Amino acid sequence: MIKNFKQKYSIFSLARNSLSYHKNWNKAWRSPHPKKNYDIIIVGGGGHGLATAYYLASVHKLNNIAVIEKGWLGGGNTGRNTTIIRSNYLWDESAAIYEHALKLWESLSTELNFNVMFSQRGVLTISHSEHELKEMSRRVHAIRLNGIDSEILSPSQIKEFIPIINTNQNIRYPVMGGFLQKRGGTARHDAVAWGYARAADSLGVDIIQNCEVQGIIRDQNKIKGIITSKGEISTKKLGVVVAGHSSLLAEMAGLKLPIQSRPLQALVSEPIKPILDTVIMSNAVHMYISQSDKGEMVLGAGVDKYNSYAQKGSFPVPQHMISAAVELFPVLSRLRMLRHWGGIVDTCPDASPIISKTDVDGLYFNCGWGTGGFKATPGSGHVFADLIANNEPNKISAPYSINRFNTGFLIDEHGAAGVAH
Ligand code: FAD
Ligand code: PYC
């Protein structure tokens, strides 16, 4: 009865709102003016920052939290990435965090009551040389020892799985095998930002867009607050999650991070009928491809090899990637590309992230996810919230302390990054 009433009500509400041009449509989140003080401020309204705020409120029951975003939600790398999700990394520390994230992805739409369109369509990484294949099989054993699904496919199994791939061995990049994580896949990136934003807002988090952090105020060795384009705000705990801009924010606090910022490019084609129901990555040629639910082919390339804060890259990078893609998938040869863009990725020397306290009391950084942080969004937010709430890392985040660059306990994931750094 109630269900019927609700259904009826929502049908009428849809009609009413469409006729009034959505004038009275409920906003998914509020747009409050910043208060003078918050217990916790998160800088960065990408997926990681919004997830952090959500878990601070939902898991740790904390309130008086703000997320400060200089542009619009998801306008950074969250809305610019190619949405590949997987947990098939080499080292135990990586397996722990990426698998933690993957498990959270598996129930995220229910948790947020928002369809993030998580699709476990599988991620296949292909090899083009004997050496790569051997390295892959070592990797698959390590991944499986961590209880994560992974399997090697032969060229004929790959052809059966992906009929449009060219497995002719006389081409420049012959397909010699590959490894598949069936539980990997994709999600709708904007929906992830929106879902976390709506859920965080409903728990009282203030989400403040178009508000740039321009300075960080310290009192000796303690955080006091921030200077923003909307005025000064005080806080004792500041979590910085700004992806491509981490070094700039660190500089505002008088810190230096071991990070390089480089452009990473991607392209999307006109929509076509379904031809590809999995994700394919080639680390050797820096080409990866999937098909969105709208039908667009989503393609990405390797990083541009220079540092830059421009959200665009150079032409030779996608040109090289497209020539490999057309050789591997001849069916794409007459496909028209619709959009092309770049994001800035912050990369650490070991291609693993930093989730850490700093030498300044109350200042925390979550950064350095490089080309691969989208997949980690729920897990990253979850453990970063834990770190901020308890002022101590948990078992999963502890290895990602910034201190590892002093102790030498690096987590070298260049081989798993999927994209050359
Ligand atoms: P962002 O979404 O960038 O959020 C940071 C926010 O901080 C931004 O919105 C920015 O505006 C804000 N900000 C910056 N400075 C300030 C300031 N001074 N004041 C206030 N706000 C500020 N990862 C994968 O796992 N799979 C992929 O397939 C994949 N593909 C990628 C493809 C491309 C082309 C790119 C660029 C990246 C890709 N990544 C991928 C990486 C992934 O996008 C990022 O690691 C991840 O999205 C980072 O999320 P975030 O929330 O930390 O950053
Ligand atoms: O991390 O899997 C990844 C990835 C693929 C493309 C860009 N990043």
Across the 421 residues of the chain, what is the mean pLDDT of every consecutive 10-residue run? Answer: 50 77 85 98 98 98 98 97 97 98 98 98 97 95 98 97 97 96 98 98 98 97 98 98 98 97 97 98 92 96 93 93 95 96 97 98 98 98 98 98 97 84 56
Quote the domain boundaries for residue 129. 120-186+261-347
How many domains does one find in the chain?
2
Per-residue pLDDT tens over the stretch 87-138: 999 999 999 999 999 999 999 999 999 999 999 999 999 999 999 999 999 9
The protein residue whose alpha carbon is closest to atom 23 in ligand 1 is 372
Please tell me whether residues 72 and 124 are part of one structural domain: no
Please tell me whether residues 273 and 326 are part of one structural domain: yes
Atom of ligand 1 lying closest to residue 244 CA: 3
Rounded Cα distance between 156 and 21, Å, is 53
Please tell me whether residues 343 and 267 are part of one structural domain: yes
Please tell me whether residues 290 and 242 are part of one structural domain: no
Final residue of a structural domain among 347, 372, 397: 347
pLDDT of residue 271: 98
Residue 385: give its domain's CATH number: 3.50.50.60
pLDDT of residue 1: 41
Distance (angstroms) between ligand 1 centre and the Cα of 49 equals: 10
pLDDT of residue 9: 55
Cβ(288) – ligand 2 distance below 6 Å: yes
Cβ(77) – ligand 2 distance below 6 Å: no
Distance (angstroms) between ligand 2 centre and the Cα of 220 equals: 40
Residue 137: give its domain's CATH number: 3.30.9.10
Cβ(213) – ligand 1 distance below 6 Å: yes
pLDDT of residue 2: 42
Beta-bridged to residue 356, according to DSSP, are 365
285, burial (CB in 10 Å: exposed 0-12, middle 13-18, buried 19+): buried
265, burial (CB in 10 Å: exposed 0-12, middle 13-18, buried 19+): buried
Cβ(262) – ligand 1 distance below 6 Å: no
Cβ(417) – ligand 1 distance below 6 Å: no
Per-residue pLDDT tens over the stretch 322-370: 999 999 999 999 999 999 999 999 999 999 999 999 999 999 999 999 9
How far does Cα 173 stand from its chain's mean position? Answer: 28
Distance (angstroms) between ligand 1 centre and the Cα of 46 equals: 6
pLDDT of residue 8: 52
Please tell me whether residues 169 and 213 are part of one structural domain: no
Please tell me whether residues 410 and 371 are part of one structural domain: yes
Ligand with an atom nearest the CA of residue 89: 2
Please tell me whether residues 325 and 369 are part of one structural domain: no
Final residue of a structural domain among 331, 347, 363: 347
Kindly give the residue spans of alpha helices, DSSP state H, lying in 176-233.
189-202
Cβ(300) – ligand 2 distance below 6 Å: yes
Among the listed residues 259, 391, 231, 388, the one whose alpha carbon sits nearest the alpha carbon of residue 251: 259
Distance (angstroms) between ligand 1 centre and the Cα of 345 equals: 7
Distance (angstroms) between ligand 1 centre and the Cα of 343 equals: 7
Please tell me whether residues 41 and 181 are part of one structural domain: no
| Domain-located, residue 410 | yes
Cβ(82) – ligand 2 distance below 6 Å: yes
280 phi and psi angles, rounded to 5 deg = -125, 135
Final residue of a structural domain among 317, 347, 377: 347
| Domain-located, residue 92 | no
pLDDT of residue 5: 47
Cβ(81) – ligand 1 distance below 6 Å: yes
Quick check: 296 and 270 in contact, CB under 8 A?
yes
Kindly give the residue spans of alpha helices, DSSP state H, lying in 146-279.
155-161, 189-202, 246-252
Cβ(371) – ligand 2 distance below 6 Å: yes
